[in-house]
Protein backbone atom coordinates (compact mmCIF):
# COMPACT_ATOMS: atom_id res chain seq x y z
CA UNK A 1 0.00 0.00 0.00
CA UNK A 2 1.46 3.37 -1.03
CA UNK A 3 1.39 6.13 1.53
CA UNK A 4 -0.03 9.56 0.82
CA UNK A 5 1.97 12.79 0.69
CA UNK A 6 3.55 13.90 3.96
CA UNK A 7 1.55 17.12 4.10
CA UNK A 8 -1.73 15.41 5.00
CA UNK A 9 -3.64 15.77 8.21
CA UNK A 10 -3.24 12.10 9.17
CA UNK A 11 0.57 12.18 8.94
CA UNK A 12 0.82 15.67 10.42
CA UNK A 13 3.23 14.71 13.22
CA UNK A 14 4.93 11.64 11.73
CA UNK A 15 8.33 13.28 11.35
CA UNK A 16 8.20 14.52 14.95
CA UNK A 17 7.57 10.94 16.03
CA UNK A 18 10.59 9.67 14.12
CA UNK A 19 12.81 12.41 15.54
CA UNK A 20 11.73 11.62 19.09
CA UNK A 21 12.42 7.94 18.47
CA UNK A 22 15.92 8.57 17.10
CA UNK A 23 16.82 10.75 20.07
CA UNK A 24 15.46 8.18 22.49
CA UNK A 25 17.33 5.33 20.82
CA UNK A 26 20.67 7.15 21.20
CA UNK A 27 22.13 5.34 18.14
CA UNK A 28 25.72 5.85 19.26
CA UNK A 29 27.07 3.35 21.77
CA UNK A 30 28.84 5.18 24.56
CA UNK A 31 31.88 4.56 26.73
CA UNK A 32 32.88 6.33 29.92
CA UNK A 33 36.60 6.39 30.61
CA UNK A 34 38.07 5.94 34.11
CA UNK A 35 38.47 9.71 34.40
CA UNK A 36 34.75 10.21 33.72
CA UNK A 37 35.02 11.43 30.11
CA UNK A 38 32.12 10.24 27.94
CA UNK A 39 32.85 8.98 24.43
CA UNK A 40 30.71 7.64 21.61
CA UNK A 41 31.84 4.56 19.72
CA UNK A 42 31.89 4.87 15.94
CA UNK A 43 33.13 2.71 13.10
CA UNK A 44 35.70 3.75 10.47
CA UNK A 45 37.59 1.39 8.15
CA UNK A 46 36.38 -1.59 10.19
CA UNK A 47 37.88 -0.12 13.35
CA UNK A 48 36.16 1.21 16.44
CA UNK A 49 36.97 4.83 17.19
CA UNK A 50 36.22 6.75 20.39
CA UNK A 51 35.04 10.34 19.90
CA UNK A 52 33.73 12.90 22.35
CA UNK A 53 30.24 14.31 21.63
CA UNK A 54 31.93 17.58 20.65
CA UNK A 55 34.06 15.76 18.08
CA UNK A 56 30.96 14.09 16.64
CA UNK A 57 29.30 17.50 16.28
CA UNK A 58 32.42 18.88 14.59
CA UNK A 59 32.43 16.03 12.07
CA UNK A 60 28.75 16.59 11.27
CA UNK A 61 29.39 20.29 10.84
CA UNK A 62 32.37 19.66 8.58
CA UNK A 63 30.19 17.53 6.30
CA UNK A 64 27.78 20.45 5.91
CA UNK A 65 30.58 22.95 5.46
CA UNK A 66 32.23 20.85 2.74
CA UNK A 67 28.87 20.67 1.01
CA UNK A 68 28.58 24.47 1.12
CA UNK A 69 32.13 24.82 -0.19
CA UNK A 70 31.18 22.70 -3.21
CA UNK A 71 27.96 24.62 -3.82
CA UNK A 72 29.65 28.03 -3.64
CA UNK A 73 32.81 26.84 -5.48
CA UNK A 74 34.89 28.42 -2.77
CA UNK A 75 35.79 28.28 0.88
CA UNK A 76 33.17 29.17 3.48
CA UNK A 77 34.81 30.84 6.49
CA UNK A 78 32.04 32.89 8.11
CA UNK A 79 28.65 31.42 8.98
CA UNK A 80 25.25 32.92 9.74
CA UNK A 81 23.46 30.26 11.78
CA UNK A 82 19.67 30.14 11.53
CA UNK A 83 18.22 28.23 14.45
CA UNK A 84 14.85 27.43 16.02
CA UNK A 85 13.95 29.80 18.83
CA UNK A 86 13.82 26.82 21.18
CA UNK A 87 17.54 26.23 20.55
CA UNK A 88 18.62 29.81 21.22
CA UNK A 89 20.50 29.30 24.47
CA UNK A 90 24.08 30.40 25.30
CA UNK A 91 25.09 26.78 25.87
CA UNK A 92 23.76 25.61 22.51
CA UNK A 93 25.32 28.51 20.61
CA UNK A 94 28.63 27.86 22.34
CA UNK A 95 28.58 24.23 21.16
CA UNK A 96 27.77 25.35 17.63
CA UNK A 97 30.58 27.90 17.67
CA UNK A 98 33.04 25.28 18.92
CA UNK A 99 32.00 22.83 16.20
CA UNK A 100 32.39 25.54 13.55
CA UNK A 101 35.84 26.47 14.85
CA UNK A 102 36.92 22.82 14.81
CA UNK A 103 35.96 22.69 11.13
CA UNK A 104 37.89 25.86 10.33
CA UNK A 105 34.95 28.29 10.23
CA UNK A 106 33.68 31.19 12.34
CA UNK A 107 30.14 31.51 13.71
CA UNK A 108 29.66 35.17 12.82
CA UNK A 109 26.04 35.54 13.94
CA UNK A 110 22.94 33.66 15.12
CA UNK A 111 19.34 34.50 14.30
CA UNK A 112 16.10 32.69 15.13
CA UNK A 113 13.73 31.34 12.50
CA UNK A 114 10.59 33.09 13.86
CA UNK A 115 12.46 36.42 13.98
CA UNK A 116 13.31 36.08 10.29
CA UNK A 117 9.69 35.21 9.54
CA UNK A 118 8.29 38.19 11.47
CA UNK A 119 10.83 40.54 9.86
CA UNK A 120 9.85 39.39 6.38
CA UNK A 121 6.58 41.35 6.43
CA UNK A 122 5.88 45.03 6.90
CA UNK A 123 3.12 45.82 9.36
CA UNK A 124 -0.47 46.19 8.23
CA UNK A 125 -1.78 49.53 9.46
CA UNK A 126 -0.43 50.67 12.85
CA UNK A 127 2.75 48.91 13.85
CA UNK A 128 1.80 45.72 15.72
CA UNK A 129 3.21 44.97 19.14
CA UNK A 130 2.83 41.19 19.14
CA UNK A 131 3.16 38.72 16.27
CA UNK A 132 2.55 34.99 16.49
CA UNK A 133 4.77 32.97 14.15
CA UNK A 134 3.32 29.54 13.44
CA UNK A 135 5.78 27.22 11.68
CA UNK A 136 4.73 23.73 10.62
CA UNK A 137 6.65 21.74 8.02
CA UNK A 138 8.07 18.28 7.46
CA UNK A 139 10.93 18.92 9.91
CA UNK A 140 9.70 21.36 12.54
CA UNK A 141 6.71 22.51 14.57
CA UNK A 142 7.44 25.72 16.43
CA UNK A 143 5.02 28.34 17.73
CA UNK A 144 6.54 31.66 18.83
CA UNK A 145 5.38 35.04 20.06
CA UNK A 146 7.45 38.00 18.89
CA UNK A 147 7.38 41.50 20.36
CA UNK A 148 8.01 43.85 17.46
CA UNK A 149 8.26 46.95 19.66
CA UNK A 150 11.25 45.38 21.44
CA UNK A 151 13.32 44.83 18.30
CA UNK A 152 11.82 41.42 17.47
CA UNK A 153 12.37 39.80 20.85
CA UNK A 154 11.02 36.26 21.25
CA UNK A 155 8.62 36.39 24.19
CA UNK A 156 7.86 32.66 24.25
CA UNK A 157 8.27 29.60 22.06
CA UNK A 158 6.88 26.07 22.06
CA UNK A 159 8.55 23.40 19.98
CA UNK A 160 9.30 19.68 19.58
CA UNK A 161 5.87 18.47 20.70
CA UNK A 162 6.29 14.97 19.26
CA UNK A 163 3.55 12.79 17.79
CA UNK A 164 0.36 12.49 19.89
CA UNK A 165 -0.62 9.04 18.57
CA UNK A 166 2.79 7.58 19.36
CA UNK A 167 2.82 9.02 22.89
CA UNK A 168 -0.79 8.07 23.68
CA UNK A 169 -0.17 4.48 22.63
CA UNK A 170 3.17 4.43 24.43
CA UNK A 171 1.44 5.44 27.67
CA UNK A 172 -1.55 3.11 27.28
CA UNK A 173 0.47 0.06 26.24
CA UNK A 174 3.05 0.55 28.97
CA UNK A 175 0.17 0.45 31.47
CA UNK A 176 -1.92 -2.32 29.89
CA UNK A 177 1.01 -4.62 29.16
CA UNK A 178 2.92 -3.66 32.30
CA UNK A 179 5.98 -3.23 30.11
CA UNK A 180 8.48 -0.35 30.00
CA UNK A 181 8.81 0.38 26.29
CA UNK A 182 11.35 3.16 26.93
CA UNK A 183 13.92 0.55 28.02
CA UNK A 184 13.49 -1.60 24.90
CA UNK A 185 14.68 -0.08 21.62
CA UNK A 186 13.16 -2.86 19.50
CA UNK A 187 9.79 -2.38 21.20
CA UNK A 188 9.89 1.37 20.50
CA UNK A 189 10.75 0.77 16.84
CA UNK A 190 7.93 -1.77 16.56
CA UNK A 191 5.47 0.71 18.08
CA UNK A 192 6.61 3.47 15.73
CA UNK A 193 6.30 1.26 12.63
CA UNK A 194 2.84 0.05 13.60
CA UNK A 195 1.70 3.65 14.18
CA UNK A 196 2.92 4.66 10.73
CA UNK A 197 1.38 1.62 9.02
CA UNK A 198 -1.93 2.43 10.72
CA UNK A 199 -1.72 6.03 9.50
CA UNK A 200 -1.01 4.84 5.96
CA UNK A 201 -4.05 2.58 6.00
CA UNK A 202 -6.31 5.34 7.34
CA UNK A 203 -4.88 7.79 4.85
CA UNK A 204 -5.62 5.51 1.92
CA UNK A 205 -9.32 5.26 2.67
CA UNK A 206 -10.01 3.00 5.67
CA UNK A 207 -12.29 4.46 8.34
CA UNK A 208 -10.61 2.49 11.13
CA UNK A 209 -7.76 0.07 11.69
CA UNK A 210 -6.70 -2.35 14.41
CA UNK A 211 -3.19 -2.55 15.84
CA UNK A 212 -2.12 -5.61 17.81
CA UNK A 213 0.69 -5.54 20.36
CA UNK A 214 2.18 -8.53 22.12
CA UNK A 215 4.73 -8.51 24.90
CA UNK A 216 5.70 -11.19 27.42
CA UNK A 217 2.76 -13.42 26.52
CA UNK A 218 0.17 -10.64 26.83
CA UNK A 219 -1.80 -9.09 23.97
CA UNK A 220 -3.56 -5.76 23.50
CA UNK A 221 -5.59 -4.71 20.44
CA UNK A 222 -6.12 -0.99 19.81
CA UNK A 223 -8.74 0.26 17.35
CA UNK A 224 -7.96 3.61 15.72
CA UNK A 225 -10.40 5.63 13.64
CA UNK A 226 -9.41 8.26 11.11
CA UNK A 227 -11.70 10.87 12.68
CA UNK A 228 -10.22 10.27 16.14
CA UNK A 229 -6.64 10.52 14.86
CA UNK A 230 -7.29 13.71 12.89
CA UNK A 231 -8.93 15.37 15.89
CA UNK A 232 -6.04 14.31 18.14
CA UNK A 233 -3.54 15.79 15.69
CA UNK A 234 -5.45 19.08 15.62
CA UNK A 235 -5.80 19.15 19.41
CA UNK A 236 -2.02 18.80 19.51
CA UNK A 237 -1.74 22.09 17.63
CA UNK A 238 -4.33 23.73 19.88
CA UNK A 239 -2.34 22.66 22.92
CA UNK A 240 0.85 24.15 21.44
CA UNK A 241 -0.81 27.49 20.72
CA UNK A 242 -2.33 27.71 24.21
CA UNK A 243 0.99 26.78 25.82
CA UNK A 244 2.81 29.52 23.90
CA UNK A 245 0.22 32.15 24.87
CA UNK A 246 0.31 31.07 28.52
CA UNK A 247 4.12 31.05 28.65
CA UNK A 248 4.22 34.62 27.33
CA UNK A 249 1.31 35.75 29.51
CA UNK A 250 -0.49 37.08 26.42
CA UNK A 251 -4.23 36.87 25.69
CA UNK A 252 -5.11 35.67 22.21
CA UNK A 253 -6.92 38.96 21.52
CA UNK A 254 -3.61 40.79 22.13
CA UNK A 255 -1.95 39.11 19.15
CA UNK A 256 -1.89 41.59 16.26
CA UNK A 257 -0.81 39.39 13.35
CA UNK A 258 -0.19 35.72 12.58
CA UNK A 259 2.72 34.82 10.30
CA UNK A 260 2.46 31.44 8.57
CA UNK A 261 5.66 29.48 7.92
CA UNK A 262 6.08 26.04 6.37
CA UNK A 263 4.19 24.06 3.72
CA UNK A 264 1.89 22.35 6.22
CA UNK A 265 0.26 25.67 7.14
CA UNK A 266 -1.58 25.42 3.80
CA UNK A 267 -3.61 22.45 5.08
CA UNK A 268 -7.23 23.70 5.51
CA UNK A 269 -7.72 21.96 8.87
CA UNK A 270 -4.56 23.58 10.24
CA UNK A 271 -5.76 27.01 9.14
CA UNK A 272 -9.11 26.33 10.77
CA UNK A 273 -7.40 25.64 14.11
CA UNK A 274 -5.55 28.94 13.86
CA UNK A 275 -8.80 30.74 13.02
CA UNK A 276 -10.37 29.37 16.20
CA UNK A 277 -7.85 31.40 18.18
CA UNK A 278 -7.21 34.36 15.89
CA UNK A 279 -10.39 34.99 13.91
CA UNK A 280 -9.92 38.77 13.80
CA UNK A 281 -6.17 38.97 13.18
CA UNK A 282 -4.67 39.12 9.68
CA UNK A 283 -2.79 36.05 8.50
CA UNK A 284 0.46 36.93 6.76
CA UNK A 285 0.94 34.48 3.90
CA UNK A 286 1.45 36.75 0.90
CA UNK A 287 4.73 34.91 0.36
CA UNK A 288 4.39 31.15 0.01
CA UNK A 289 4.87 29.94 3.63
CA UNK A 290 7.33 27.24 2.56
CA UNK A 291 9.72 29.94 1.27
CA UNK A 292 9.44 32.66 3.93
CA UNK A 293 12.47 31.68 6.03
CA UNK A 294 14.71 31.14 3.01
CA UNK A 295 13.85 34.48 1.39
CA UNK A 296 14.17 36.42 4.63
CA UNK A 297 17.50 34.71 5.39
CA UNK A 298 18.91 35.73 2.00
CA UNK A 299 18.00 39.35 2.65
CA UNK A 300 19.38 39.30 6.19
CA UNK A 301 22.60 37.62 5.03
CA UNK A 302 23.14 40.35 2.45
CA UNK A 303 22.63 43.10 5.04
CA UNK A 304 24.92 41.42 7.57
CA UNK A 305 27.59 40.90 4.93
CA UNK A 306 27.51 44.58 3.99
CA UNK A 307 27.72 45.66 7.63
CA UNK A 308 30.53 43.28 8.56
CA UNK A 309 32.47 43.65 5.32
CA UNK A 310 32.93 39.89 4.94
CA UNK A 311 31.26 37.27 2.78
CA UNK A 312 29.32 34.63 4.63
CA UNK A 313 27.08 31.63 4.15
CA UNK A 314 23.84 30.73 5.94
CA UNK A 315 23.33 27.41 7.65
CA UNK A 316 19.98 26.17 8.95
CA UNK A 317 20.43 24.16 12.15
CA UNK A 318 17.15 22.36 11.44
CA UNK A 319 18.79 20.81 8.34
CA UNK A 320 21.46 19.09 10.43
CA UNK A 321 18.99 16.57 11.83
CA UNK A 322 18.36 15.44 15.37
CA UNK A 323 21.76 13.79 15.84
CA UNK A 324 23.62 17.10 15.63
CA UNK A 325 24.71 18.54 18.97
Q: Per-domain residue ranges for the chain? A: 124-162+229-293, 164-223
| Residue 75, pLDDT above cutoff 90 | no
Measure the CA–CA gap between 204 and 151, rounded to whole angstroms: 47
- Listed in order, strand segments (DSSP E) in the chain are 29-32, 38-44, 47-51, 78-83, 106-112, 130-136, 141-147, 153-159, 208-215, 218-225, 257-261, 283-284, 313-316
Predicted pLDDT at 240? 94
Q: CA triplet 60, 296, 65: central angle to 5 degrees? A: 20
Q: Which residue has the higher pLDDT, 322 or 128?
A: 128
Name the nearest CA neighbour of 308 among 122, 19, 108.
Answer: 108
Predicted pLDDT at 19? 67
Average pLDDT taken over every residue of the chain: 83
In CATH, which of 3.40.1350.10, 3.30.420.40, 3.40.50.720, 2.170.120.30 is domain 124-162+229-293? 3.30.420.40
With cut-offs at 50, 70 and 90, classify the pLDDT of residue 1.
Answer: very low
Measure the CA–CA gap between 298 and 118, rounded to whole angstroms: 14
Alpha-carbon dihedral 31, 37, 43, 44, rounded to 10 degrees: -160
Predicted pLDDT at 140? 83
Tens digits of per-residue pLDDT, 257-281?
999 999 999 999 999 999 999 999 9
pTM over 0.85: no
Tens digits of per-residue pLDDT, 30-39?
667 777 766 6
Predicted pLDDT at 4? 55
Name the nearest CA neighbour of 129 among 150, 143, 156, 115.
Answer: 150
| Residue 7, pLDDT above cutoff 60 | no
Amino acid sequence: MNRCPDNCIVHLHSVASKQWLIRRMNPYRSYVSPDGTRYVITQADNEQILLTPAQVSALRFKEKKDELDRITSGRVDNILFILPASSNSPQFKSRVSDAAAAAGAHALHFIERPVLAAAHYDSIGPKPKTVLVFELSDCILEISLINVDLDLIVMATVSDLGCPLFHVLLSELSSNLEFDFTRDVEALIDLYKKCERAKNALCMGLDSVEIKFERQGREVIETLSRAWLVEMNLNHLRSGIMSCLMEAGVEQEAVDEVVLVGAFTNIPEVLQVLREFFHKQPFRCETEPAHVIQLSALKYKSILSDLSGVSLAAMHIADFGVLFF
